[in-house]
Structure 1
Amino acid sequence: MSRTEPAGHPAVIELRQYTLRPGRRDELIELFEREFVETQEEAGMSVLGQFRDLDHPDRFVWLRGFTDMEARREALSAFYGGPVWAAYGPQANATMVDSDNVLLLRPSPAGRGFATDATDAADAADAMDARDPSRRRRAGAAAPDRFVAAALWHFPPGTHHGGELIQDGLVPLLRRTGPAPFAVLTTEPAANTFPRLPVRTGENVVAVLTSYPDENAHRRHLADTTAHPLVRNEILPAVERAQTAAPQLLRLAPTVRSLIR
């Protein structure tokens, strides 16, 4: 496999949620972080974050990024057609029940992509730097003592009002009341350029990702935000009227080698 620079400023992001066979999550994480991190980046993508889902002991959540949809096609073709996946892919697949719960996302035009500095808050810079894979910890290091919250808001396909309420209304209040989200992402509407790996279609999602020192800090931030009169009286009621389902909160613990932490 020829070496290619990873996507340092990803404009296309996959949020992947895998349901695993009981008791095999640590097995997949060990294999993934040993064999699939640098090798995917050599194919031209960025491995942004790997997580244990704290609410589902058999779920592995991860994100990877690409510079655009064509780069995604080329990178995935190179990796999944290459020797590393041929050697270790069957072992990875043997741990999985389902790997098709995948959202194709892009940075919000009204928000921000992945944070790479501390312009909004110091915690945003601490969360990750997608341009600097050298910050990734080595295998065997202590896992980062951090908590990541990913809030997924669902709205009718083809509409913009709900997304605007999150991006222009809720996110600025989140920045004022606690750590700034390190990423605000929306559904990427382009067709899947690598159909060998399915993605969820017919979606209109806004994803807000924030890193915290611990879960108590997240609870305080959430309480302070929802107590704000503008959020309580205007923004959240409007979001509830616009959404198609209750928001989903992923409570995530970064793995040892996750760039997002």
Structure 2
Amino acid sequence: MAVILEIRTYRLKPGTGDEFVRVMREESVPLLEKAGIRVVDCGASLVAEGGHEEAYLIRAFASLEEHRIQEETFYGSDAWRHGPREAIVSRIDGSHSIVLDASEEIVRAFRRR
């Protein structure tokens, strides 16, 4: 079965990586999952580029349309805007996402939790 896999990377402000990952795992991911978004994994990069700490978030969706709808719904929600949004966004210097076709086997391989 084909799925849409999104890999999002974050370039973080210096000294914020540990707290960013903690908030992501303890607050943001549970909200994403409660909203029906399938989180595959998240965490810190093993390598810092240019002195910046980096982190990632990997999510899976049934289709591009589901990806669009779920993102719009989640990021417009009060739970996100009045929840961990500021703690996440305030630590990010930049981000980048790629979205690709993948298989369930690839999703399972990325999943470590």
Please give the TM-score of this superposition, normalised by the length of structure 1.
Answer: 0.38
Structure 2 contact 7–99 (Cα < 8 Å) conserved: yes
Aligned Cα RMSD in Å? 2.2
Pairing 1:114–2:104 present: yes
Distance apart, 1:10 and its partner CA = 6.6
RCO (CA 8 Å, sep 6+): is it higher in 1 or 2? 2
Distance apart, 1:260 and its partner CA = 2.5
Unpaired runs of 5+ residues, structure 2, are none
Aligned residue in 2 for 1:89:
85
Structure 1 contact 49–62 (Cα < 8 Å) conserved: yes
Q: How many residues align?
A: 109
Structure richer in helix, relative to its length: 2
Pairing 1:36–2:35 present: no
Unpaired runs of 5+ residues, structure 1, are 1-8, 108-112, 117-127, 130-181, 183-208, 210-258
In 2, the alpha carbon distance for the partners of 1:83 and 1:10 equals: 32
Structure 2 contact 23–88 (Cα < 8 Å) conserved: yes
Structure 1 contact 14–103 (Cα < 8 Å) conserved: yes
Provide Cα deviations, 1:56-102, integer angstroms capped at 9, x if missing partner.
Answer: 16000120111101111221112101122112212211101002x11
> Which amino acid in structure 2 is aligned with residue 260 of structure 1?
R
Aligned residue in 1 for 2:18:
26
Structure-2 change in CA distance of 1:59 and 1:10 (3 Å): farther
Moved runs in structure 1, 4+ residues, more than 3 A? none
In 1, the alpha carbon distance for the partners of 2:65 and 2:36 equals: 11
Q: Match of 1:102, SS?
A: strand
Structure richer in strand, relative to its length: 2
Distance apart, 1:42 and its partner CA = 2.3
Structure-2 change in CA distance of 1:31 and 1:79 (3 Å): same
Please give the TM-score of this superposition, normalised by the length of structure 2.
Answer: 0.83
Provide Cα deviations, 1:7-39, integer angstroms capped at 9, x if missing partner.
Answer: xx7711111110000010111111111111122
2:45 to 50, 53, 62: 53
Structure 2 contact 45–54 (Cα < 8 Å) conserved: yes
Structure 1 contact 10–66 (Cα < 8 Å) conserved: no
> Which amino acid in structure 2 is aligned with residue 20 of structure 1?
L
Aligned residue in 1 for 2:100:
105
Q: Answer with 1 or 2: which has the greater Rg.
A: 1
Structure-2 change in CA distance of 1:95 and 1:22 (3 Å): same
